[in-house]
Structure 1
């Protein structure tokens, strides 16, 4: 049986490690913020995608943009490619799951958009193909990834790599970065946290 206290301490240590190397994340996080702020100002949107828990995180962050994080503000254009079960199942059935996000990117993404793929391994074919397609469309591509960055680190224009091998710890840092981005945008728009 897993020890609750030990799991909490492991998670806390991952955050301490991330904060200890905040300078390593700082420039990438600011680059992410600037790209999203610029894209939204140009009439673009933020497109999220991931598999499993990262799919849920994508949906969660798209909702924070569209509804609100903390501050009262208008909606920020955002969508998660993980939420339309008819598209996901039709495409997987008629074509292949590897291209399920790529096809959506080709149909929905424009050059002013920011496309963010969450993949803890960096090896998810459907994320990698979608980010390649987004690059070809001129969109700004971002990978929130982990471990050694996998293949995605060489595909995305910006790869933020959480140097850890445990999926849950990587996802926790991805969500921290996502929530920080929401807070930074709230402050930029309203002047309040």
Structure 2
């Protein structure tokens, strides 16, 4: 019989990641500045990820469009992970590696902010999409982990959570995302 994982051990690993969270403060401020400039200029924020990072992308796009805490108008944002017809048709007709790149080429304009969430930094579909967004004149951000993978050399702003456990990396990504939403509530208050 296997032993139940310790809640306190998992909490200790969470605290270990968050103990150094201040190292992401300057990059998070750059992210906020880019998003504010984008939205004030009439642009949009585009999110993408795979698996849990896809869910986090959808969650954050919803916080922008609906609200976080403050009552405010919608902030233009979309997650490229939500249209199952596009995802399955593209993966079937072409290849899953280019499923986000295709959407970026169709939806993204110069001045938009494109954010890819990839805990490894090695996701071909995220990397190709961010490269395409760069070509289009968007500002690209990678919320990533471990050593940053290939995406650290593609995104204009890589925020690398230097840890090896996917769940802990995702927790930091969501903290940064929720902080961004809270900051936008204050900066863009009606």
**TM (normalized to structure 2)?**
0.94
Q: In the comparison of the two structures, how many residue pairs are matched?
A: 189
User: Match for residue 143 of structure 1?
Assistant: 142
Tell me the secondary structure at the aligned position of residue 65 of structure 1: helix
Give 1:83 shift: 0.3
Change in Cα spacing, 1:35 to 1:11, as seen in structure 2 (3 Å) is farther
Counterparts of 2:102 and 2:88, CA distance in 1:
13
Residue 10 of structure 2 aligns with which residue?
A: 10
Q: Deviations 1:44-78 (Å, cap 9, x if unpaired)?
A: 00000000000000000000000000010000000
Residues in 1 aligned to 2:11 and 2:108: alpha-carbon distance in whole angstroms: 35
TM-score (structure 1 length as normaliser): 0.93
Deviations 1:116-142 (CA, angstroms, capped at 9, x unpaired): 000000000000000000000000000
Specify the alignment match of 1:30 in structure 2: 29
Query: In structure 2, what is the equivalent of residue 124 of structure 1?
Result: 123
Q: Counterpart in 1 of 2:166?
A: 167
| SS at 1:72 equivalent | coil
Q: Deviations over 1:138-171 (max 9, x none)?
A: 0000000000000000000000001111111111
Residues 121 and 21 from structure 1, CA distance in 2 versus in 1: closer, same or farther, beyond 3 angstroms?
Answer: same
Deviates more, 1:22-31 or 1:69-78: 22-31
SS of the residue 1:156 aligns to? coil
**Structure 2 residues not aligned, in runs of 5+:** none
**CA-CA distance at 1:18 after TM superposition:** 4.2
